[in-house]
Structure 1
């Protein structure tokens, strides 16, 4: 299955595929996805956890003990916990973000969904998120899961990346285009 999906390859793709197949067989795809999303959010919110995951300074034993405590505290159990512990034991925990991304892609394909990466200047309301999902569904013909990232640097508007297509309607890009056109004219 990893070879069928262009964004699922390499070591992270193999781990994600193995986890996906196990979760599918155990009928726990949604539970595993929820656990991985929770772990990803914890990773994004903690510089210490990020350092533990990415730094080669920590040995496998230290990483394993620390990770076990983090998973217990977050109540991440079952397949997800075993999988994260396996990544640690195999010294591949540094790739966990790529594995989660690949797993998410496999789940989306399995469910017949497309995934869009959306960058906005500020958080969107539920009404605007629903309107965006509806618009993207009309283009793709599939349900679209959104990965929303907030980046105030785009000033306004949004950037949508869906597969290999990208639509950049950010104010920053428009201003840069005007600035570039004025330089060429002058």
Structure 2
């Protein structure tokens, strides 16, 4: 699956509008929780990814699908209206971008920084705590860490903070060595 968290201008605009509305209503935390649940559902469901990405489905189909998910998950009314607006404006494909942008806005408001840590195997509690402490020291802010396992990196870690990527994976080190040997 491709990285669906790249932001688009439309995703940024929708996220900003949702963030402003949720903030005014004092519902930022509830909306963010809804969006995190939806993001997890998107990652777990090929059907949901297909529904949102495929031009074969009409805006009404997409709205109905998102509305059914929202009602079943008992999402906040603001989140439900946002999903309906996104579908009605034929911007369902920008949903993951809008969620990523909303999470950044919320994190900035709370004074934390989001970081994604990719490892070849699941991190132990002690390792997670060590990574959090290292990020706290390096960034000078409280990190909000999401983890992902990607066996293809072979070992080590990749840490993405905003647009910065710190790649200490074994795969990238081997690729660098292979490139250096080819040049020799």
Fold-level similarity (TM above 0.5): yes
- What is the alpha-carbon distance in structure 2 between the residues aligned to residue 27 and residue 119 of structure 1? 33
RMSD: 1.7
1:159 aligns with 2:158: yes
TM-score normalised by structure 2 residue count: 0.90
Structure 1 residues not aligned, in runs of 5+: 1-6
Aligned to 1:13: 12
Q: 1:114-129 alignment to 2 at 5 Å?
A: 114-129=113-128
Q: How many matched pairs?
A: 179
Deviation by residue 1:50-86 (Cα, 9 ceiling, x = unmatched):
1111111111222222222222222223211111111
Q: Where do residues 1-186 of structure 1 align in structure 2 (5 Å cutoff)? A: 10-185=9-184
The farther-off stretch of 56-65 and 176-185 is 176-185
**Cα distance, 1:24–1:59 mapped onto 2, change above 3 Å:** same
Greater relative contact order (Cα 8 A, min sep 6): structure 1 or 2?
2
| SS in structure 2 at match of 1:169 | strand
Task: Give per-residue Cα distances to partners, 1:130-174, cap 9 Å, x unaligned.
Answer: 211111111111011123222110011101122343221111112
1:16 is displaced (CA, Å) by: 0.4
Q: Which residue of 2 aligns with 1:3?
A: none
Structure 2 segments unaligned to the other structure (5+ residues) = 1-5
User: How many Å apart are 1:11 and its aligned residue?
Assistant: 1.2
SS at structure 2 position matched to 1:104? helix
Q: Alpha carbons of 1:8 and 1:154: their partners in 2 closer, same or farther (altered >3 Å)?
A: closer
Question: Structure 1-normalised TM-score?
Answer: 0.89
